[in-house]
Amino acid sequence: MKIYPEYVAKDRVMQPGQEGSAVDALDFVWKGSRILGQIYVPVHTPGEKHPLAITLHGFPGYTNNQDLDHALRRTGFVTVHPFAPGAWGSEGYYTFDGLVECAMALLDYCKTDEFAEKYHICRDNIFFVGHSMGGMTSINVLRRRDDVKAGVFLAPFDVAQFYYEGHTPDELRPLFEEGVILRTPGNYMDFLLQNGADTAKDLLFIDAAEGIKEKNFLFVGGELDPLAPPATMCAPLYEKAKALSSGKAKQEYVLIHSDHGFNDQRIFLAQTVANYLADLVE
């Protein structure tokens, strides 16, 4: 299995005897709901295996980061990009705990013989890459699952933090209003605020330190990010997990001089992620 980080920002052309890149539809069922998305398939040489990156978008209304999907595919990853339950055509309801449950169900789906054989997945090299609310989801998947080789957390948003000392849930209202309308089982705003309260204990970042202390992870924060300030949403968990760690895992923290969506640093962001993951693929 070989990774090609030099193709992060350069087209990779199919060579004789290889199968070309493709995009397939993701369509799997979670709790009776169809979850949609895309599967980005890299150039394939018969007989080889590919690592898998499951990429999770943030709160709907922000970037989907699909440029990152393409970049990781060019480097040799099969990249699976789901749309969250209740958002962008996926069925079901949008809930914070549901994001984590659905992501773990997707992980199981991608590890099935049918999926792994079709896309030539190496099941020992599965990674989660999440932005904002997808970063929250990825942190909470990594703490619960030992079959994820590493988590990459891009401007992760600690929604649970707003239910503890120094914050108030009302601070979330203007942030939620900026997103697209989501499918929820009750009044949109009231439901999200209550779901945040109901799930805060299980999803709070700082409490994930014990679960990720011996695991590979990369935090990427935006120095100009007002939504998920790295000083409060990256640094505390990173520092606590590192302090508990034996030092054997690959644990890194990168600050980029950009905003919440890394809007003017997309190539550097892709290079940072691809280079980190390339060192772990084996």
Mind listing the pLDDT tens digit for each residue in 2-29?
Answer: 889 999 999 988 899 999 999 999 999 9
Residue 5 lies in a domain: no
Confidence grade of residue 102 (pLDDT, cut at 50, 70, 90): very high
Domain count, the chain: 1
Position 12 in a domain: no
Burial, 63: exposed, middle or buried (Cβ in 10 Å; 0-12, 13-18, 19+)? middle
Domain CATH for 230: 3.40.50.1820
Domain presence at residue 9: no
Cα 248 to the center of its chain, rounded Å: 23
The answer to whether residue 7 sits within a structural domain is no
Residue 11 is assigned to a structural domain of this protein: no
Helices of type H across 155-279 = 173-177, 188-203, 209-212, 230-233, 235-244, 266-278
Summarised one tens digit per residue, pLDDT across range 127-170 is: 999 999 999 999 999 999 999 999 999 999 999 999 997 788 88
Nearest by Cα to 55 from 128, 124, 115: 128
In a domain, 117, yes or no: yes
Owning domain of residue 183:
17-278
Residue 200: inside a domain, yes or no? yes
